[in-house]
Amino acid sequence: MAHPSDTRYLVAPGGTLRGRLRVPGDKSISHRSIMLAAIAEGETRISGFLEGADALATLNAFRRMGVRIEGPDGGEVRVQGVGMRGLQSPDGPLDMGNSGTSMRLLSGLLAGQAFPVTLVGDGSLSKRPMRRVTEPLAQMGARIGTTEGGTAPLDLAPVARLTGLDYTMPVASAQVKSSLLLAGLYAEGETCVTEPAPTRDHTERMLTAFGYSVRRHAAKVCLTGGGRLTGCRLTIPADISSAAFFLVGASIAPGSDLILEGVGINPTRVGVINILRAMGGDIELMDRRTAGGEPVADIRVRHAPLRGIRIPVDQVPLAIDELPVLFIAAACAEGETVLTGAEELRVKESDRIQVMADGLAKLGVCAEPLPDGMRIFGGALGSTGDADTIDAPSIDAHGDHRIAMSFAIAALRASGPVAIRDCANVETSFPGFVELAGSAGLSIQATRG
Ligand code: S3P
């Protein structure tokens, strides 16, 4: 049953996505832009910053540590960097909201500071595993307290110094890699992280843009502590993880033809394009260019009949946040799609395997959750029913932004309306989703309690 304070989506079935649109700035890059600008020397000007709750949690945390930040105003932010040792003790716990990236990256960046700090988060974030960062950080000399279960709140005690570490990650995680590299800036000697599979490399690219030397040898990335960052100008591309909803939507909705402008196409993020193309998707990259050290393109996507595939395991880290909406593509494809090697989906903002399987079942799709993935049999999508009262049957997004938007997109091929509850957190990554999707052709209405 819906709670009266829910944000719910009611999406009418069918429709076609057409036109040109620009989705908001990249969330991963927005977080990093504030973090590095804050500890750089001099001013950094950022454009294309994502004004969503997650990136704003990072921004507010640095304000509370004494960093002067103007904006965001239309995606423009100016940060007056305080240098490596210029952060000040905040006057209380720093609230990371729903944002795993803020908490894990900040635990690294703050591990070597001379003041204590506590990082807290919302109900979902407080259940997510933090030992993956606190344990290697402890090996560097950090003193970080967690709950018994290894979750937030994280209590960081001041330490005299950190020492470099040569660490091989057990899971392919850009958040863990970035956390350790950020701690490595404050460590004596060299910090190296080896990844079991390639993960997003925005931290490495951006450190280079701030003039900090980062070395990569195959799967190993290293830096030496004690250097300095110099403020710069950054342009943040549109977020491919937000574009993904439209890439899938236009692929599944007959008659669709959409251009998505200025989307980041970093090779460590393009799994969604690779997977959709392998399923038969019609996706064209136009006007390729570079912005702020990141490759960017306009993406044209047209409707195409999709077929089920076995998703290559090497694509999983490259599409980790796009897998929920790719399940919708699979549900609309001919034949079976199988995903394995994606157990990480169970510890995201929700258990994305179970929550997607439950929602797909509500739409009559045959989806079998696996411990590390999903098996989906493509076919017709049903509906949650056509009642639009607060207690009408609905799909539960469990407060997970990407689940809510995935099922909104599914309505393009549903037999009747799709109602989704607990959608407020779409604001964490995609402010304006309802309006933008509406302008492209989705008949979506939000009701806020
Ligand atoms: C992110 C890394 C990924 C991703 C998350 C953002 C980042 O998490 O799912 O949304 O910005 O580094 P993991 O490192 O847990 O895979």
| Residue 409 contacts residue 332 (beta carbons within 8 Å) | no
Contact 416, 385 (CB under 8 A): yes
- Give strand pairing partners of 296: 264, 289
Test site for ligand 1: of 58, 132, 173, 347, most ligand atoms within 8 A of the Cβ: 173
Do 75 and 28 form a contact (C-beta atoms < 8 A)?
no
Report d(CA 77, CA 38) in Å as an integer.
Answer: 12
In this prediction, residue 441 has a pLDDT band, given cuts at 50, 70 and 90, of very high
Q: Which two tokens stand for residue 212?
A: 């900090």
3-class DSSP string for 218-232: CCEEEEECCCCCECC
Which fold would CATH assign to domain 27-235? UDP-n-acetylglucosamine1-carboxyvinyl-transferase; Chain (3.65.10)
Per-residue model confidence (pLDDT) at position 448: 85
Average the pLDDT over 303-314 and give the result. 98
165 C-alpha vs ligand 1 centroid, how far in Å? 21
Burial of 285 (0-12, 13-18, 19+ CB in 10 A): middle
Q: According to the annotation, is 277 in a ligand binding site?
A: no
The CA 59 to ligand 1 mean position distance, Å, reads 18
pLDDT, tens digit (0-9, with 9 covering 90-100), for 138-190:
999 999 999 999 999 999 999 999 999 999 999 999 999 999 999 999 999 99
pLDDT tens per residue across span 213-225 = 999 999 999 999 9
> Domain locations in the chain?
7-24+237-448, 27-235
Q: Is the pLDDT of residue 389 over 70?
A: no
Residues ≥6 apart with Cβ < 8 Å to 242: 23, 24, 27, 429, 430, 433
Question: What is the chain's mean pLDDT, rounded?
Answer: 96
pLDDT score of 292: 83
Confidence of residue 39 (pLDDT cuts 50, 70, 90): very high
| Superfamily of the domain at 7-24+237-448 | Enolpyruvate transferase domain (3.65.10.10)
Equal fold, 7-24+237-448 vs 27-235: yes
Distance CA 349, CA 226 (A): 34
